[in-house]
């Protein structure tokens, strides 16, 4: 597997700026890019990344998504004076042209494609591109919401063609709805688009009906557009994590993407004047960490919004640090999602029930209320689709909390998605609300979980306890030892001990 993290930045993209007064657009400043890069330098993260140069996206690449009319209008602004620029800008909802905007937007496209190439060619495992102008509001024929060309949409279309990809996941954690990206892919089943966004029952910009949870895609693309509207401001880490556990991640594992692209806006972070949300920079480390478990780690993070310079740059650093493989920091604060978030989550799940196996069966073994630690073991036992996963014990924290999955029955479908739907919807929410200082995992020998399943389980649990994991894996004598690729963990393998091992661990707990 490829290793290394690419970082793409070109100072040229700071030349695009607002030349007149406009209270809507004046937050999209060049310092968003420069201060993020300075903070990365400050944490010595730049030197740890593979520097990949930006390039200009070609006209042909821009035309993968945009009309030639749109391209020509953008091109024509290069030689305009301020008055003309202002007039053309006025044709769009929240956009400003500068004589160098076209050049910067081409660099933003090219930087994004450079990252896709670096990841797809195995030169790096993952990476981030710091770009301006952003892209996700931009549409086939229109600039919109500070965006001229849709960098991420072009990248997805480019990757589909150049690398014959059949499944690409776009995760849009910007606080605004990337309606541009939705329009471009809504009929396309090969691109799964997930966006959460401040919505406030259609009060918040861009105030579209089609940003709601019931916009699930069109035609063959039905089920591949996922909108999670936030109807209140002040969403916290717990709400974002709940959205990942109960919507995005189970869907993403079922979809099984070949490439993941993040429309990475940090206006969903604390302090942002647009988002008015309360998620801390650390949450982006967790979100990044989860997405790194998909598509063999092929993850491209592309900057979108983010207007509070300090919050933005800290969140960018958290993201890059996590891409580099550093342990993710502990999350603090209330861990139960708020009622409004739970409502939105339930709505989008209901809307997508016809399209996803994991949702079709969900009532059979766990429900959303597991996020509030209502243990629903009993309903699990009686489903006719159940199968036993024996001898699997998971301890979270030695002294005060033990989660026993011994003879815990789980639903199993043909793809074996069962177990991870339960891990995501049930174990992780409990584990995150417990916030252990150490995770102890004991795996018995008689399991139905294969090595890749065990690896994934470990990886998912590595977002906890600052990645401190003590793993005990019991193997049958004579069996091949298990090799797990885990950093920052201490693991040992035992054979022949069987139940005594678990008993002593349990005793330890009971004391």
Alpha helix (H) residue ranges in 30-150: 31-42, 59-62, 68-76, 82-89, 101-120
- In the numeric block, which tokens belong to residue 74? 């953008």
Which lies closer to Zn ion via its Cβ, residue 232 or residue 349?
232
With CB cut-offs between 5 and 8 Å by kind, which of Zn ion, ligand X5A, none does residue 281 bind? none
Can you tell me which of 98, 176, 198, 232 binds Zn ion, judged by CB under 5 A? 176
Q: Is 137 a catalytic residue?
A: yes
267 lies in the binding site for Zn ion (CB under 5 A): yes
Catalytic residue among 70, 98, 137, 177: 137
Burial letters 493-507, b for 16+ CB under 10 A, else e:
eeeeeeeebbeebbe
217 lies in the binding site for Zn ion (CB under 5 A): no
In the complex, the smallest distance separating the C-beta of residue 308 from Zn ion, rounded to whole angstroms, is: 12
Contact stretch for Zn ion (CB under 5 A) within 41-49, 58-66, 305-313, 431-439: 305-313
Task: Please work out the total of residues on this chain that contact ligand X5A, with binding judged by CB under 6 A.
Answer: 14
Which lies closer to ligand X5A via its Cβ, residue 265 or residue 463?
265
Residue among 366, 188, 198 nearest 273 (CA): 198
Q: How far apart are CA 150 and CA 109, in angstroms?
A: 8
Which lies closer to ligand X5A via its Cβ, residue 205 or residue 253?
205
Q: Are strands 299-303 and 126-129 parallel, antiparallel or unpaired?
A: parallel
φ/ψ of residue 383, rounded to 5: -65, 140
Which lies closer to ligand X5A via its Cβ, residue 88 or residue 338?
88
CB atoms under 10 Å from CB of 511, counted, come to 7
397 lies in the binding site for ligand X5A (CB under 6 A): no
Q: How far apart are CA 345 and CA 337, in angstroms?
A: 10
269 lies in the binding site for ligand X5A (CB under 6 A): no
Q: How far apart are CA 227 and CA 22, in angstroms?
A: 30
Can you tell me which of 50, 94, 208, 233 binds ligand X5A, judged by CB under 6 A? 94
Can you tell me which of 205, 356, 358, 420 binds ligand X5A, judged by CB under 6 A? 205
28 lies in the binding site for Zn ion (CB under 5 A): no
Question: Left, alpha or beta for 46 (phi > 0: left; psi -120 to 50: alpha)?
Answer: alpha
In the complex, the smallest distance separating the C-beta of residue 135 from Zn ion, rounded to whole angstroms, is: 11
Contact stretch for Zn ion (CB under 5 A) within 87-95, 172-180, 239-247, 389-397: 172-180
With CB cut-offs between 5 and 8 Å by kind, which of ligand X5A, Zn ion, none does residue 314 bind? none
In the complex, the smallest distance separating the C-beta of residue 264 from ligand X5A, rounded to whole angstroms, is: 10
Q: Which helix (H) or strand (E) holds 130?
A: none
Binding mask 336-365 for Zn ion (x = CB under 5 A): ------------------------------
Binding mask 193-212 for Zn ion (x = CB under 5 A): --------------------
Which lies closer to Zn ion via its Cβ, residue 176 or residue 246?
176
Residues paired with 303 in a beta bridge: 264
Separation in Å, CA 199 to CA 28, 381, 462, 504: 21, 39, 32, 52
Could you say which residues in the range 277-306 bind ligand X5A, by CB under 6 A?
Answer: 304-305
Q: How far apart are CA 482 and CA 181, in angstroms?
A: 42
Q: How far apart are CA 478 and CA 241, in angstroms?
A: 41
Supply the residues annotated as catalytic.
Answer: 137
Which residues form the interface with ligand X5A (CB under 6 A)? 24, 94, 134, 137, 145-147, 174, 176, 205, 265, 267, 304-305
């Amino acid at each position: 597997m490829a290793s290394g993290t690419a970082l793409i930045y070109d100072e040229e993209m700071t030349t695009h700026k607002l030349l007149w007064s406009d209270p809507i657009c004046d937050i999209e400043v060049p310092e968003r890019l420069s201060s993020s890069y300075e903070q990365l330098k400050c944490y010595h993260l730049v030197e740890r990344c593979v520097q990949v140069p930006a390039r200009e996206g070609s006209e042909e690449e821009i035309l993968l998504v945009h009309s030639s009319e749109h391209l020509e209008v953008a091109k024509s602004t290069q030689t305009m004076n301020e008055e003309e620029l202002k007039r053309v800008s006025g044709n769009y909802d929240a956009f400003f042209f500068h004589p160098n905007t076209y050049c910067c937007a081409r660099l933003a496209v090219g930087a994004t494609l450079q990252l896709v190439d670096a990841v797809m060619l195995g030169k790096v495992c993952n990476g981030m591109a710091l770009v301006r102008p952003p892209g996700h509001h931009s549409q086939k024929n229109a600039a919109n919401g500070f965006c001229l060309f849709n960098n991420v949409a072009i990248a997805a279309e480019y990757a589909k063609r150049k690398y014959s990809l059949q499944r690409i996941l776009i995760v849009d954690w910007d606080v605004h709805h990337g309606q541009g990206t939705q329009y471009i892919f809504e009929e396309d089943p090969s691109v799964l688009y997930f966006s959460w966004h401040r919505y406030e029952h259609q009060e918040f910009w861009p105030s579209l009906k089609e940003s709601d949870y019931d916009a699930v895609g069109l035609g063959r693309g039905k089920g591949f557009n996922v909108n999670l509207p936030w109807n209140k401001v002040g969403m916290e880490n717990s709400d974002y994590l709940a959205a990942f556990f109960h919507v995005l991640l189970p869907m993403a594992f079922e979809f099984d993407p070949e490439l993941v692209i993040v429309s990475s806006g940090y206006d969903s972070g604390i302090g942002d004047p647009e988002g008015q949300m309360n998620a801390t920079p650390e949450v982006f480390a967790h979100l990044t960490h989860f997405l790194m478990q998909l598509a063999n780690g092929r993850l491209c993070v592309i900057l979108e919004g983010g207007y509070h310079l300090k919050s933005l740059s800290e969140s960018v650093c958290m993201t890059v640090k996590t891409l580099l493989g550093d342990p993710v920091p502990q999350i603090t604060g209330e861990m139960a999602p708020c009622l409004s978030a739970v409502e939105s989550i339930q709505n989008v799940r209901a809307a997508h029930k016809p399209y996803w196996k994991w949702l079709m069966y969900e009532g059979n073994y766990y429900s959303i209320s597991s996020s509030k630690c209502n243990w629903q073991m009993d309903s699990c036992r009686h489903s006719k689709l159940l199968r036993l996963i024996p001898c699997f014990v998971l301890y979270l924290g030695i002294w005060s909390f033990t989660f026993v999955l011994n003879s815990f029955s789980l639903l199993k479908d043909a793809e074996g998605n069962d177990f991870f739907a339960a891990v995501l919807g049930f174990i992780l929410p409990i584990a995150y609300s417990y916030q252990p200082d150490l995770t102890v995992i004991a795996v018995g020998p008689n399991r139905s979980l294969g090595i890749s399943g065990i690896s994934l389980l470990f990886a998912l649990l590595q977002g906890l306890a600052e990645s401190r994991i003590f793993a005990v894996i019991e193997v049958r004598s004579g069996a091949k030892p298990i090799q797990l690729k885990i950093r920052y963990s201490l693991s040992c393998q035992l054979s022949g001990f069987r139940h005594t091992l678990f008993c002593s661990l349990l005793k330890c707990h009971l004391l």
